[in-house]
Amino acid sequence: MKHLFLLFSAVLVIFGCSTNNNGTVTVVPLAPTNLTGAVISNTQINLSWTDNATNEEGYKIERKTGAGNYAVVGSSSSNMTSFSDLGLSPSTSYTYRVYAYNSAGNSLQYSNELTLSTQDSIPSWLTNGLVAYYPFNGNANDESGNGNNGTVNGATLTSDRNGINNKSYSTTSGYISCINNNIPTNNPISISFWFKCNSDFGIGEVISLGSPSSTTWGCVIGNNYFTMNYGRGCGSTGSSPASIGLSNTNWHNVVFISNGIGGNSSIYYDGVFSANTINANTNGGCSTSNLYFGADIFSLVELFDGSLDDIRIYNRALSASEVAYLAAH
């Protein structure tokens, strides 16, 4: 009998089982599957997985960097299928796996492995002189803290340049208008944004400050026609254009850096300097009512057939290295 009991105990161990004092058999839990995650910042990664067990006491999360060894970095209770890994290092790649456990032991398998990299450190200059910022995190709010929030007029949320849903706006069927709180008019200004064309939509002010009666300034893009326009409807002499070709269906970053009415603008395309243009002169009576995204608002509303994302407006001239950083991120 003693030999039979030892044999039975060995079978239980091999197949992930244990017995308690009253002879009840407990089996180890099934392993979790479908481990997924999201990079939240330069110090945080969130994980989630599918719970396949009915008898787990909880889950253990293991992590490693590079070719190092796994170590437990956290746990969650029974039926909890998410974990936030905090205090990570910027610009670092982390690999994760998860297992379930109970009194009988650990699940016989791990979940799938998942490797994610935290974001780069945020440079201090990124908010220096930032008067409006629209990352379009499911809405058109200004996240610079200056209150230039937007109202969506028919534009629709869509995927951004990284393929993440609801993180940019399509302006094919509408546009966005924003409050104007101290947006530069005739001062140094830098405007950076990402755009994607669906078609050759012609030439128009994709981002502008003004109203249907006149616009103080506008970022004009079109195939072989980029310029920083000043004074439409209020005595504009016309700004000189830069010949930059458009590539439909691809995301691009463009930065306009202007020193004001009658001055000059530098245009960077995908982080590379493309041209200097001459700004128009005006009679100075231009409207500064609102910011407009995705529509040439002057006189007759003409929509930009494409998508916009990560719009930044600065009250200073960005440097070439700062422009390159924005184009790479």
pLDDT value at 296 more than 60: yes
pLDDT value at 56 more than 70: yes
Tell me the per-residue pLDDT of 220-256, one tens digit each, with 9 for 90 and over.
887 778 888 888 888 888 888 777 777 677 899 999 9
* CA atoms within 13 A of residue 183's CA, in its CB half-sphere: 28
Tell me the per-residue pLDDT of 177-210, one tens digit each, with 9 for 90 and over.
999 988 998 889 999 999 998 877 667 789 999 8
Helix (H, G, I), strand (E, B) or coil at 125: helix
Domains of the chain: 2-117 (2.60.40.10), 124-328 (2.60.120.200)
pLDDT in the model for residue 288: 86
pLDDT in the model for residue 14: 46
Tell me the per-residue pLDDT of 5-36, one tens digit each, with 9 for 90 and over.
334 434 444 446 555 555 566 899 999 999 99
- Phi then psi dihedrals of residue 61, to 5 deg: -110, 125
Determine what percent of the chain is predicted with pLDDT higher than 70. Answer: 91
pTM above 0.75, yes or no: no
Determine what percent of the chain is predicted with pLDDT higher than 90. Answer: 60
pLDDT in the model for residue 201: 63
- Detail the DSSP E strand segments found in 33-143: 33-39, 45-50, 58-65, 71-77, 82-85, 93-102, 105-106, 114-117, 130-134
Q: For residues 232 and 239, what is the distance between their CA atoms, to the nearest angstrom? A: 10
CA distances to 28, 123, 199 from 118, rounded to whole Å, are: 34, 15, 35
What average pLDDT does the segment 294-300 reach? 85
Residues 6 or more apart whose Cβ sits within 8 Å of residue 56: 29, 78, 79, 100, 101, 102, 107
Tell me the per-residue pLDDT of 251-295, one tens digit each, with 9 for 90 and over.
999 999 999 888 889 999 999 999 888 888 887 788 888 999 999
Residues 6 or more apart whose Cβ sits within 8 Å of residue 162: none
pLDDT in the model for residue 16: 62
pLDDT in the model for residue 280: 85
Helix (H, G, I), strand (E, B) or coil at 126: helix
pLDDT band (50, 70, 90) for residue 162: confident
Helix (H, G, I), strand (E, B) or coil at 140: coil
